[in-house]
Chains A and B, each alone.
Chain A
């Protein structure tokens, strides 16, 4: 197990390096010059050259990459052109919102997707299953902002139960502030929970046809125990391996959600930084997202191998 984990970690590091090259290159071929964004149209050529030199943008691109990557390894992601502050601290400011949002969302995804998917599978073919599967289909296909706007309309504008925008830190206002993230996390969870629901249902129906489930029934185990110990447990192997993809989907949908709910998170920061041509921030955020994504996939992979003894560990 450990040697396998080490090998996978090595492969992850190589992927990360490749990703860093692509991120760096990609940002630099996008048209638009941050110097003009910063100085405006009235700048003299002299001013432009000086700033370009200060920011290191006059160096050969390979040198710029090596400097950026070397600093990134030490946790220094450069300075934001717009904020005139370290990128790491700019990202850290948005991290609280985004981490809490992602965590709450994943909790919803698991709490809604797995149990309801199980119910749909156990009752499959009935009106209950059809209703649940139909709802899942609906939520998996409507756009994120649409769900968000309707939730705001119902729970914020009409009923007035929950705030519709912003997020004051829980470190200042206490855990009660989590209510600001309730609607956003539900919005973000809707399509992903729907996918996990459908996946749970489908893989449970597959597993239920397996010979070993018949063996379990033959033992005289109660139906619910057969579901729990044999069908659900084996079906979740498939579901666990889908969590990596769910996370990737979450990232792109978070951008929309944070914008709709005006949350001071990383998703919104990305959009704003792109508009401001704030290269260091964009690079930093994408790098952080890639790192998180790779780590999650590594963990999912290792978890899968722990759960399924058939997978050789070499």
Chain B
């Protein structure tokens, strides 16, 4: 496994009465695989990815339990610089906001070279040459010109490519992409997704791809983890998930996809609201919104049921494999 996350719990609030915003999250990503992590806004996707990257904001959320292994090495409590020191620095991340993720007063070339210096130990002309190479890799035309540019001179799509170039500086084994196309136009979004898919193949890189968009998952992911209320409620190969969703929440997400509602005047949504962290302490977190809720669901935490090889759901009464219309 390139990345293995076990029982990851991220909490806020006092040590004595912690509130979990991510609880017991586990997943694996194999070499060259793209794992899609999908869920509504606020379900804990960003906190999960920041925890995995060692970038949780301080002070604030903290890792209270669980373990993160990067190619077999425990990196749970290490920040990126400590990972580099320990020789486990080949993981990188790109973010949702390309407009604010680059330093506005420093040249693009310097910002890429800075990452090159950390990982390759070269500086000056050698670092600039490598930066040029990275810009070619993310298909930025006129690389030499762009190296001298400032972020405000570039479009959102170009800036996200720069962010990808910076991420590639460490020759990542794992790339975390937290909603990298959410802030972009649809055409640019398609280009960036294509680029990520291509880089994944060419560089044999694994990707943890985070989105709230089931359509993007269908396009890009090999495997999918569906997240709700800080938990992973269903994991499956992308084909199995779309053909036979087993968790009621997954099914709800699918029924809301635009592609399945062509001609509808309004997109359906899942009734009710996502729970606030810590609001539901007993039973199933999805119970207030679940159409199939039973008495048991309100009192007992649902079991993790293995439905077939690689297909699991966190539900006491999973769907019986009916195909969504």
Residues of A whose CB lies within 8 Å of any CB of B are: 125, 210-212, 214-223, 229-230, 233-234, 237, 307-310
A212 to B162, CA, bound (A): 13
In the complex, whether B138 has a CB less than 8 A from a CB of chain A is: no
B53 within 8 A of A: yes
List which B98-115 residues lie within 8 A (CB) of chain A: 100-105, 114-115
Q: Which residue of B lies closest to A210 (CB)?
A: B100
Q: If the complex has contacts A211-B101, A229-B114, are A220 and B152 also in contact, measured as CB distance less than 8 A? A: no
- Check if B104 sits within 8 Å of A217, measured CB to CB: no
Question: In the complex, are the beta carbons of B150 and A310 less than 8 A apart?
Answer: yes
Cα-based distance from A110 to B86 in the complex (angstroms):
38
| A contact residues around B167 at 8 Å (CB) | 218
Number of A-B residue pairs at CB separation under 8 A: 74
Q: Interface digits, B231-245 against A, CB 8 Å rule (1 contact, 0 not)? A: 000000000000000
Known: A211-B97, A310-B152. A221 touches B105 (CB 8 A): no
B105 touches A219 (CB 8 A): no
Contact B119 A220 (CB under 8 A): yes
| Distance of A310 Cα from B115 Cα, bound (Å) | 23
Query: Cα distance A310–B150 when bound, in Å?
Result: 8
Set A212, A218, A307: member contacting B103, Cβ < 8 A: A212
Q: Can you give 17 contacting A-B residue pairs, CB < 8 Å? A: A212-B101, A212-B102, A214-B57, A215-B103, A215-B163, A217-B80, A218-B92, A219-B80, A219-B115, A219-B166, A219-B169, A220-B80, A220-B81, A220-B115, A237-B105, A309-B104, A310-B104
Judging by beta carbons under 8 Å apart, are A223 and B163 in contact?
no
Which residues from B are CB-within-8-Å of A211? Answer: 95, 97, 100-101
Chain B contacts for A233, CB-based, 8 A = 105
Interface size on B, residues (CB 8 A): 31
Cβ 8 A contact of B80, one of A218, A307, A308: A218
B230 near A: Cβ within 8 Å? no
B218 vs chain A, min Cβ distance (A): 28
Task: Judge if B170 is at the interface, Cβ distance under 8 Å.
Answer: yes
Is A215 a contact of B118 with CB atoms below 8 Å?
no
Chain A neighbourhood of B156, CB < 8 A: none
Closest to B112 in A: A219
Chain B residues with CB under 8 Å of A125's CB are 59
- Write the chain B residue with the least CB distance to A219: B115
Contact A214 B95 (CB under 8 A): yes
> Which residues from chain B contact A308 at a C-beta distance below 8 Å?
104-105
Q: Which of A212, A230, A308 has the most CB of B within 10 A?
A: A212
Q: How far is the CA of A218 from the CA of B82 in the complex (A)?
A: 11
* Shortest distance from the beta carbon of B174 to any chain A beta carbon, whole Å: 13
Task: Give A290 Cβ to nearest chain B Cβ, in Å.
Answer: 32
Nearest opposing residue in chain A for B169, CB measure:
A219
- With both chains docked as a complex, state the minimum distance between the C-beta of B43 and any C-beta of chain A, in angstroms: 21
Known A220-B83, A220-B89: A215·B105 in contact at CB below 8 Å: no
Question: Min CB distance, B264 to chain A, in Å?
Answer: 36
Residues of chain B with a CB closer than 8 A to A309's CB: 104-105, 150, 152
B55 interface residue per 8 A CB criterion: yes
A310 touches B105 (CB 8 A): yes
The CA-CA distance from A215 to B167 in the complex, in Å, is 9
B4 in the interface (beta carbon within 8 A): no
Name the residue of chain B whose CB is nearest to the CB of A222.
B81
A221–B114 CB distance below 8 A = yes
- A residues less than 8 Å from B119 (CB atoms): 220
A218 and B105 CA atoms in complex are apart in Å by 18
> By CB atoms of chain B within 10 A, which of A217, A219, A307 has the most?
A219
For the complex, is B84 an interface residue (Cβ under 8 Å from A)? Answer: yes
B192 at interface by CB-CB < 8 Å: no
Task: Please tell me if B22 contacts chain A, counting CB pairs below 8 Å.
Answer: no
Asked whether any CB of chain A lies closer than 8 Å to the CB of B208, the reply is no
Q: Hey, which chain A residues are within 8 Å of B189, CB to CB? A: none
Question: A217 touching B166 by the CB < 8 A rule?
Answer: no
| Smallest beta-carbon distance A239→chain B, Å | 14
Q: Determine the distance from Cα of A223 to Cα of B84 in the docked complex, in whole angstroms.
A: 13
CB contact list, B34-58 vs A, under 8 A? 53, 55, 57
**In the complex, which of the residues B57, B92, B103 has the most CB atoms of chain A within 10 Å of its own CB atom?**
B103
Residues of B within 8 A of A215 (CB): 95, 101-103, 163, 166
